[in-house]
Structure 1
Amino acid sequence: MGQFILIPLIFFGLIILASSFFMVKQQTAAIIERFGRFNSIRHSGLQMKIPLIDRVAGRLSLKIQQLDVIVETKTLDDVFVKLKVSVQYKVVTEKVYDAFYKLDYPHEQITSYVFDVVRAEVPKMKLDDVFVKKDDIAVAVKSELNDAMMDYGFDIIRTLVTDIDPDPQVKIAMNRINAADREKTAAQYEGDAQRILIVEKAKAEAESKRLQGQGIADQRREIARGLEESVDVLNRVGINSQEASALIVVTQHYDTLQAIGSETNSNLILLPNSPQAGSQMLNDMVASFTASNQIGEAMKDAKKKKDSNKGANNE
């Protein structure tokens, strides 16, 4: 009979002993209450409590935690936009009591402050400024949260605006504007390139014309020098300048005919091109030069006579 009573007592005693010990994980704080009243805070390791009197009321993580809050608001230029704000926070080790007893739902409290700050800051900005000044929004949220949540035992480590999502129609319009700007820039670059090509081509053509003109001038200079030497040679054998010039012209005429004949694809016809025509050309040119000289001499004599009469009248 006594054995039957002893066994349950031993079993009950083991249960009581086992419930006297509990484990607290690393970076965790356990809150101990005695008869429903706060007793102590226990940290990582094997801990002991009085069975049936003390109880673990709750545990708080001391790690850095993150809460993502999505806020929809309107900008200064009346564009609805959604902002995703990531709040990184942790429980202050020295304020575990405040974090556990002063605030029931810290996530809801943090979310409310994020909504309040974002909806106060974003309506002051245009949509483009929201993208540019997102760090300013994050700083404003962190400042507001630090002032409010530190009294509850929470330290705000960092706030980040991780996403800015405008209305879909606005995004389409923004993409069209960006595409148009890029096309405009591309057209400007293409126009500049085309203008450079035209200018360089004009410069090249001008240089080509200049060199071509210089070449023609040099060619004519050499031709004139050759004609001068030819006339000198002909003068030495008793042929006067008019006859020498006519002879050179006729010679060039026949050289041209020979060159044309060697070109199978040439359509040029030089008239006259018969032997009698060449002889007639030579005679005509000599007669022309002679007549020209005679007219020149007559004009000189008339001018001298006029000047002589004019001098006599003055005397």
Structure 2
Amino acid sequence: MPFSGFDILIPVLVVLVLFLIFAGIKTVPQGHNYTVERFGRYTRTLTPGLNLIVPFIDRVGARMNMMEQVLDVPTQEVITKDNAIVSVDGVAFYQVLNAAQSAYQVSGLENAILNLTMTNIRSVMGSMDLDELLSNRDAINDRLLRIVDDAASPWGIKMTRVEIKDINPPKNLVDSMARQMMAERDRRAEILVAEGRKQAQILEAEGRKEAAFRDAEARERAAEAEARATQMVSEAIAKGDVQAINYFVAQKYTEAMAAIGSATNSKIVLMPLEASSLIGSLGGIGAIAKEVFSEDAQQIRTQRAAGRTPTVSPDQSR
């Protein structure tokens, strides 16, 4: 049976409608945004999921990745403030926040971010000394992130991280730094040794000072005891006590004999001595000592009888 023109038109129309429907359906994957252009002009942005556009009038412009992305910054040479040449490389992380701005505000987004980062690395690191450069990497990263993020914000992106991976000075410079480090450590060690010697000398001087003070105190007390003893002997002599006179003479006689006997050039000493006089003097010493000890014992018994703690004067304890 021959087909009429109407029978042919219906299937063609059905196919055309289906084609238009499929042409107007756009599926955007998660993590991406598509821009829509109508006759070459941006109109709207398609978000993830199923979207409809007008076929032949609207078309998909730029397909933008909205996930965080990473760019490797290639190695470049940087001249520091103190004219040291170092090789530096890094890495930059960014995320597209506005698909339309990223698509239409800059041509070649990744290339623009890469060149912007490299330029600012040279600018920031070139304004620092080498020692500051090697010891303040965190400060460099923060400063780079702030500068690059401010410069790239009109492009609809957010710089999340800018990190310096490696800083490589020349080999001769590394050797010089190692020698400088060793010299600094030697200097610190010498300072510590000097500080230790200083403290030891201070402690030794303090010890000598304390010993001299105690020696002086001991001599002072010995002198007081000697004066007290001399006073007691003088009082006894004044009272006419012959034993006291014998004690005083025997004491001085004994000291003189000890001095003569201790001389290095004296081997044999010949002196006219009377044994009876010496024995009498020694007897006087014993009598005085017995008298003193008996007085002390009597005083202790008296104090104990009175219920007090017995006390003995320093002169009596001698």
Q: What's the TM-score once normalised by structure 1's chain length?
A: 0.59
Per-residue deviation at 1:202? 0.6
Per-residue CA distance 1:209-228 (angstroms, 9 max, x = gap) = 12112202312331342244
Any conservation in 2 of the 1:142–1:159 contact (CA below 8 Å)? Answer: no
Kindly state the Cα deviation for residue 208 of structure 1 after the two structures are TM-superposed. Answer: 0.6
Displacement of 1:195 after TM fit? Answer: 0.7
The equivalent position to 1:115 in structure 2, one of 87, 103, 118, is: 118
Aligned-partner residue type, residue 48 of structure 2: S
Find the counterpart in structure 2 of residue 79 from structure 1: 84
Structure 1's 161 and 66: CA in aligned 2 closer, same or farther, altered over 3 A?
same
Partner amino acid for 2:47? H
From 205, 212, 219, the equivalent of 2:215 is 212
Please show how residues 1-315 of structure 1 align to structure 2 within 5 Å: 23-31=27-35, 41-48=45-52, 59-70=63-74, 71-93=76-98, 96-97=99-100, 99-100=102-103, 105-130=108-133, 132=136, 134=140, 135-146=142-153, 150=154, 153-158=155-160, 160-163=162-165, 165-169=167-171, 170-230=173-233, 232-233=235-236, 236-238=240-242, 245-251=248-254, 277=273, 279=275
Deviations 1:113-132 (A, max 9, x none): 22233334443443234455
> Against the structure 1 CA distance between its residues 219 and 55, is the aligned structure 2 distance closer, same or farther, given a 3 Å change threshold?
same
Cα gap change, 1:276/1:85 in structure 2, threshold over 3 Å: closer, same or farther?
A: same
Describe the shift of the 1:251–1:53 C-alpha distance in structure 2 as closer, same or farther (beyond 3 A). same
Contact 2:28 2:48 in 1 (8 A): yes
Aligned equivalents of 1:221 and 1:274: distance in 2? 36
The one-letter code matched in structure 2 to 1:47 is N
> Matched residue of 1:26: which SS?
coil
Return the alpha-carbon distance in structure 2 between the equivalents of residues 89 and 104 of structure 1: 16
TM-score if structure 2 supplies the norm length? Answer: 0.58
Change over 3 Å in CA distance of 1:40–1:124 after alignment to 2: closer
Unaligned runs of 5+ in 2: 1-14, 279-318
Give RMSD over aligned pairs: 4.7
Alignment partner of 1:212: what SS? helix
> What one-letter code is carried by the residue in structure 1 that aligns with 2:168?
P
1:111 Cα shift?
A: 1.4
**156 and 173 in structure 1: CA distance in 2 versus 1, 3 angstrom threshold:** farther
- Contact residue 79 and residue 166 of structure 1 kept, 8 A: no
2:86–2:170: 8 Å Cα contact kept in structure 1?
Answer: no
How many percent of aligned residue pairs carry the same amino acid?
18
Q: What is the CA distance between 1:176 and its match in structure 2?
A: 3.6
Q: Distance in 1 between matches of 2:244 and 2:67?
A: 121
Q: Are the equivalent residues in 1 in contact too, given 2:90–2:166 (CA < 8 A)?
A: no
The answer as to whether partners of 1:28 and 1:60 remain within 8 angstroms in 2 is yes
Structure 1 residue runs of 5 or longer lacking an equivalent are 1-11, 261-267, 283-315
Residue by residue over 1:63-114, the C-alpha shift from the partner in whole angstroms, topping out at 9 and shown as x without a partner, is 3333242442111322122344443433243xx3453467564222221222
User: Would the aligned equivalents of 1:117 and 1:144 in 2 still touch at CA under 8 Å?
Assistant: no
Whether the 8 Å CA contact 2:81–2:126 is kept in 1: the answer is yes
Aligned to 1:307: none
Q: 1:46 aligns to what SS in structure 2?
A: strand
Counterpart CA distance in 1 for 2:218 and 2:274 is: 31
Give the deviation of 1:143 after TM superposition: 3.8
Measure the CA separation in 1 of the matches of 2:277 and 2:23.
Answer: 142
Relative to structure 1, is the Cα distance of residues 141 and 102 closer, same or farther in structure 2, using a 3 angstrom cutoff?
closer
Cα deviation, 1:16-55, whole Å, max 9, x if unaligned, reads 7888755423342134679999886421122356899988
Q: CA deviation at 1:279?
A: 4.6
For 1:220, give the aligned amino acid: A
Q: Does structure 2 retain, via aligned residues, the 8 Å contact 1:118–1:141? A: no
